[in-house]
Structure 1
Amino acid sequence: MRWPVITAEGTSIRDAVARIDRSEGKGIVVVDEQRRPVSTVTSDRLRRELYDGATPETPISSVVDAPPERLANGDASLDLDVAAGGIETGMATADSRADAVETVLVVGGAGYVGSVLCRILLEEGFAVRVLDPLMYGDAGVAALADHDRFTLHQGDARSLETVLDAIEGVDAVVHLGGIVGDPATELDPRKTLEYNLHSTRLLASVCEYHQLNRFVFASTCSVYGKSATGAGRLAEDDALNPVSLYARMKIQSERLLRDLAGEQFSPTILRMATVYGCSPRMRFDLVGNILPAKAHEQGVIPVFGGDQYRPNVHVEDAARAYVDCLTAPLEDVAGEVFNVGSNGQNYRIDELATVVADAFPDAEIEYHEEQTDERSYRVEFEKIRSALEFEPERTIRDHCLELREAFENDGFSAHTATRFSNYATLESAPSFEETDAVIDEHEPPAFDDRDERTPTPDARSDGQQSTGMH
């Protein structure tokens, strides 16, 4: 891996960090007009200058690390080969991934997907920092407290001071934070705006200013909303048709990230299929989890409507998608949008119920004519498979059998408890009492009036109303 070379000592911190990130390296070499090495500087040093008050336009000539002669003679990690026409630089390690990203900030890391992602990152050798308000408790990360590469910052991304403290020294950010699920986001629209849109703007703006190039954002396939009957699988560039506040906030967040994108800030957007599976911060308000729970507990698998399509993905596969984005060459993921899931796990709700019934043979499917959730969409996942070789390894049947064994061994005996539901947890929190608040009229409208359709939240645990990850 090569350290990039720049010839102008007046190059800004902004441009230097962008060059370093694009090269997957950790530093840059400054040379004069005759291509002779003048100085070197690491990305850590450049970012430290930003934290200490320098502006992104500050020339790097004022931020110099060790002279190149000392590095060439005494630093085994950097090899300088000065030739007759210029300079060649190279790193002595083959593990370019570790040099590119070492410390990851996971915003919302104590949540449903986040707690699984943190464990995979630690297993892969990354240092992990979590920023989370712990509104659902600390069960997702409590077991990680003593890990020497894990740090928890309790707080949320609505606070500039909190965000600045959390991002210091990290190489990449995974943003899973926010209020998740259609019913949960409808409880208090003003707080949803704060947590799901304004905090994303703040976090992304701070990362862009401090040259944190890798930024992976959790969006949702719910942005496709209600597709036309008989429509094919929806790809990343197909039209969006949200039917919930949750999905509209995700689309607004995607737009602001694209507006901020540039050479020094390269967000990647992952539109997640409906997630299922066991997690340290377990949820039983997701269709892939609640239907097996009802099959075991009540001997009934309720289906409301049934012809709605949903793509599905196991929580461990979902977490792996974020790791794949962090370890891929930056040019392969910078500015990209990926649907995360697999074509084979696009199911109608009634088909999903059949899979559950196969794993719980004593349960019966109970059909209800009323449809409590308007969303229906099949999704195409070829792009992430081709670009990142991402292939989900787990299936809903695997999960149902795993969950059945857990239930039979008295695991999740209190699965109806408030803590397993985003909606129920927030509904019982004093700070989330329902208000008459509306979306800030100063926010630019995301869609035409025909798209501003928001279903009334249904607190009933039918497993088909909620979506999301955290």
Structure 2
Amino acid sequence: MKILVTDPEGYVGSLVVACFTQQGHEVISVSQANGGAALSLIELAVTDLQNFDAVIHTGEICGNPALHPQIACNIHYRDAMHLANLAKATGVSRFIYLSSCSVYGAGEEEYVTEESPVRPQTPSATYKAAIESDLLTIASAEFSPTILRPAIAFGASPRIRFDVVLNNMAGLAWTANKINIPGKGLSWCPVVHVLDICQIINCILQAPRPLVHQQIFNVGDTNHNYQLIEIAAMVAEVFQVENFSFGHHGFGDRGLFMTFDKIHQFFPDFQCGWNPRQGAEQLLNFFTLTDSIQSHFTLTRSPYHRSDNYPFHTVSIA
């Protein structure tokens, strides 16, 4: 397949590029703003998308977009819909949009499914929900958008993020020998490894197009809903940390509990290959190869950390 992937410098996008290149696909990447790709998303024209089989839009914004609402609007809506309309006009039949479980907000139901109402609580989540809605609207017999709502991602990546729960706990455990737990640690938190996200993207690309046409999928495993204190305990055991602190901020006592029955009904062979303990072990091994983690936590507030030591031989999704 010839695949266009956005945000090759992002947490998920960098791994998607590595995974699908390793599988033998022809992967072309585009950045949204001063990334590592040769092309810029907003500069794309119809001629640039000719002969592509699929688009995987992983574009994301890090930090707090509430401080920059126009940037959030541009990245999360304008660029995404520009790309989708170009793909449709060019005849690219498959469009996978990596949204987020953040569109659900703090779950008010006992659990959330793909049929649950969206209640985005941040500008970023609001624009993701708008993109989802408009992508489904422009679907046609020749253009099949598929929307993914992953649980909260964890695990190593060439462009790792530390503003996600498990990675943040592991980073602090490694650099400060402590773990900070949001709130009282009782909030529910669904998690999924970034390689499992890559795995389901591969499943969708290989599936008959009518099966995934205009579909929304939660991505994860129902057994991988944990309370924050449970995730902290697994990280602490792996990193041999005994120093815990509790904060006043977090998801509240409820958090979010997701179910993933639909994706397993559509793809019976799909199984999440990583649990949080395995993810913590992977991060421990990853940190031993990356001597700049300490300076990242002490000198920068950016949630991203780029590593040239990512073990690419581990990215197989076959």
* Residue identity in the other structure for 1:247: A
1:415, 1:396 → 2: CA distance? 23
Match of 2:212 in 1: 333
Aligned equivalent of 1:167, options 39, 49, 52: 49
Shift in CA distance, 289/176, structure 1 to aligned 2, threshold 3 Å: same
Match of 2:276 in 1: 396
2:18, 2:212 → 1: CA distance? 23
Q: Secondary structure at the match of 1:282?
A: strand
Match of 1:414 in 2: 295
Q: Secondary structure at the match of 2:204?
A: helix
CA drift of 1:418 comes to 3.5
Would you say how many aligned residue pairs link Structure 1 and Structure 2?
301
Aligned equivalent of 2:77, options 197, 211, 214: 197
Match of 1:143 in 2: none
Mapping for residues 151-166 of structure 1, pairs under 5 Å: 152-156=37-41, 158-159=42-43, 162-166=44-48
4+ runs deviating over 6 angstroms: none
Q: Secondary structure at the match of 1:414?
A: helix
1:358, 1:348 → 2: CA distance? 16
2:233, 2:170 → 1: CA distance? 11
Mapping for residues 343-354 of structure 1, pairs under 5 Å: 343-354=222-233
Match of 1:387 in 2: 266
Which structure 2 segments of 5+ residues have no match? 307-318
Shift in CA distance, 204/133, structure 1 to aligned 2, threshold 3 Å: closer
Q: String of CA shifts for 1:320-339, please: whole Å, max 9, x gaps.
A: 11111111111111110000
Q: Secondary structure at the match of 2:160?
A: coil
1:342, 1:330 → 2: CA distance? 23
Mapping for residues 226-305 of structure 1, pairs under 5 Å: 226-228=106-108, 231-305=109-183
Aligned equivalent of 1:109, options 2, 8, 11: 8
1:297, 1:199 → 2: CA distance? 37
Q: Secondary structure at the match of 2:64?
A: helix
Match of 2:31 in 1: 132
Q: Secondary structure at the match of 2:119?
A: coil
Which structure 1 segments of 5+ residues have no match? 1-101, 139-151, 426-470
The answer to whether the 8 Å contact 2:32/2:59 transfers is no
Residue 183 (structure 2) pairs with residue 310 (structure 1): no
* Residue identity in the other structure for 2:107: S
Shift in CA distance, 299/206, structure 1 to aligned 2, threshold 3 Å: same
Q: String of CA shifts for 1:299-357, please: whole Å, max 9, x gaps.
A: 21111212222211111111111111111111111110000111121112222111111
Q: String of CA shifts for 1:17-51, please: whole Å, max 9, x gaps.
A: xxxxxxxxxxxxxxxxxxxxxxxxxxxxxxxxxxx
Match of 1:319 in 2: 198
The answer to whether the 8 Å contact 2:179/2:241 transfers is no
Q: Secondary structure at the match of 2:107?
A: coil
CA drift of 1:419 comes to 8.1
Q: String of CA shifts for 1:189-233, please: whole Å, max 9, x gaps.
A: 0111011011111111111122211000011011111123xx432
1:314, 1:163 → 2: CA distance? 34
1:255, 1:340 → 2: CA distance? 18
Larger Rg computed on CA atoms: 1
Match of 2:312 in 1: none
2:234, 2:241 → 1: CA distance? 13
Aligned equivalent of 1:216, options 85, 91, 96: 96
Q: By percentage of residues, which structure has more helix?
A: 2
The answer to whether the 8 Å contact 1:132/1:154 transfers is yes
Match of 1:92 in 2: none
CA drift of 1:248 comes to 0.9
Match of 1:185 in 2: 65
Report percent identity of matched pairs.
Answer: 29
Match of 2:311 in 1: none
The answer to whether the 8 Å contact 1:284/1:415 transfers is no
Q: Secondary structure at the match of 1:353?
A: helix
Q: Secondary structure at the match of 2:128?
A: helix
CA drift of 1:284 comes to 1.8
CA drift of 1:382 comes to 1.3
The answer to whether the 8 Å contact 1:134/1:154 transfers is no
The answer to whether the 8 Å contact 1:224/1:241 transfers is yes
CA drift of 1:253 comes to 0.3
1:192, 1:415 → 2: CA distance? 24
Shift in CA distance, 311/165, structure 1 to aligned 2, threshold 3 Å: farther
The answer to whether the 8 Å contact 1:110/1:134 transfers is no
2:134, 2:289 → 1: CA distance? 47
Q: Secondary structure at the match of 1:125?
A: coil
Q: String of CA shifts for 1:102-122, please: whole Å, max 9, x gaps.
A: 100001123111111112112
